[in-house]
Amino acid sequence: MTQDTLALLPRAKWTFATRRVDRDLVAGMDTDFAAARAGDLILAQVERIGQHSRVQLSMGRPSNIFPGDLIVLACGARYAPDQFEGLAEIDPAGADLLAGGGCIGRMVARNERIKPATRLLPMGRLVDAEGQTVNLDRFALPTVRQSKEIPVIFVLGTAMNSGKTTATAQLALGLRLAGYKVAALKGTGTGAYGDFNEYEDTGAHWVADFTDAGMVTTYREPMDRVKQGLDLLLQHAAGQGCDIAVMEIADGLFQRETGALVADDWFRQNMSGLVFACGDAVAAAGGVAELARLGLRPDALAGILSCSPMAVAEALAATGVPVLRKSDLSDPAEANVFALRALAAERKAA
């Protein structure tokens, strides 16, 4: 890369997914896009605006984008039934903006209700002074030896936009108001600041997501890699002095990584509480039945369902699982019940 091109990097829009990157390590770029793997940093130019007309910057604010703009993103896959499915592949002739948080790849499917993906022209993979590709995994939180374990309340859901993030944030708020040091964590999904910022707004003691474990997305990552990332987040939460963690798991029970994770022994061994977010009573009944097939039962239902008293009554009658509204989750007395149950489960497991 010429010095003129290198000088363009500070003018580029660095996306949320790159927020942990030490930019001083970037010394050049190559165009070996066939060798690109998930997490590689890509400098791209906006070619044509489609679904995404903005990106999320590493500093935590949105930025409009225009044809000709330069953006630094991470190569990655995406699974979002409401938007795109995409793969971590970079075509030098043109690539797709899969997520505004900074995921570039090849779109393979899209929801018919949205526009085609914003098109990007890849300019190069960023490399360091030794010519090694600059990948997000290099900037993950360091591995720590942490003997302390904290109870984890997982938040699952039926699908995107079922209310998982709101439930996670409101429960974290309730626990914080009850006097606990809370870790609010996004365990899987595609990197974006919306969920991260919502967690931070609750005043949680420590907030992190899988990008802190070196992944732009967990879609199509090996399950061992996903679990290592979750362990890393929990180890750091304990090291930060947190008493309890609330961790959101993205998408629905039938999404590949979510389904594999929930069926894995790791999930049972780490679970001290479970909230299930859903949109209606039928979804609640189906989700509770699927969890029962896996030997799991939620402590509470939440999400969009909780906005409707009629849907709440239907879900309770169908499942026998109590439904909690946002105001219930954020209530310190209600949250303390969750915490005491989770702490008791943690002691029993130990």
- Predicted local confidence at residue 344, as pLDDT: 87
d(CA 250, CA 248): 6
pLDDT higher than 80, residue 174: yes
Closest CA to 323 of 272, 283, 262, 277: 277
- Predicted local confidence at residue 346, as pLDDT: 74
pLDDT higher than 80, residue 349: no
| From 1-10, 70-79, 163-172, 239-248, the region with the lowest mean pLDDT | 1-10
Closest CA to 279 of 243, 254, 314, 255: 314
One-letter amino acid for residue 277 of the chain: A
- Predicted local confidence at residue 167, as pLDDT: 97
Residue with tokens 């130990």: 350
User: How much is the mean pLDDT over the chain?
Assistant: 95
Q: How many CA atoms lie within 13 A of 30 on its CB side?
A: 14
Q: What are the chain's domains? A: 3-137 (no CATH), 152-349 (3.40.50.300)
pLDDT higher than 90, residue 117: yes
Task: With H, G, I as helix, E, B as strand and everything else as coil, classify residue 280.
Answer: coil
User: Would you place residue 350 in the very low, low, confident or very high pLDDT band (cuts 50, 70, 90)?
Assistant: low
pLDDT higher than 90, residue 348: no
pLDDT higher than 60, residue 3: no
- Predicted local confidence at residue 343, as pLDDT: 87
The answer, as to whether pTM is greater than 0.85, is yes
Q: In this predicted model, what pLDDT tens digit does every residue of 175-199 receive, in sequence order?
A: 999 999 999 999 999 999 999 999 9
Q: In this predicted model, what pLDDT tens digit does every residue of 212-227 receive, in sequence order?
A: 999 999 999 999 999 9
Closest CA to 86 of 210, 217, 212: 217
Residues 6+ apart with CB under 8 A from 61: none
d(CA 312, CA 321): 10
Phi and psi of 344, rounded to 5°? -65, -40
Average pLDDT over residues 230-239: 96
- Predicted local confidence at residue 1, as pLDDT: 44
Q: In this predicted model, what pLDDT tens digit does every residue of 279-334 receive, in sequence order?
A: 999 999 999 999 999 999 999 999 999 999 999 999 999 999 999 999 999 999 99
pLDDT higher than 80, residue 4: no
Closest CA to 96 of 76, 66, 124: 76
- Predicted local confidence at residue 149, as pLDDT: 87
d(CA 130, CA 163): 45
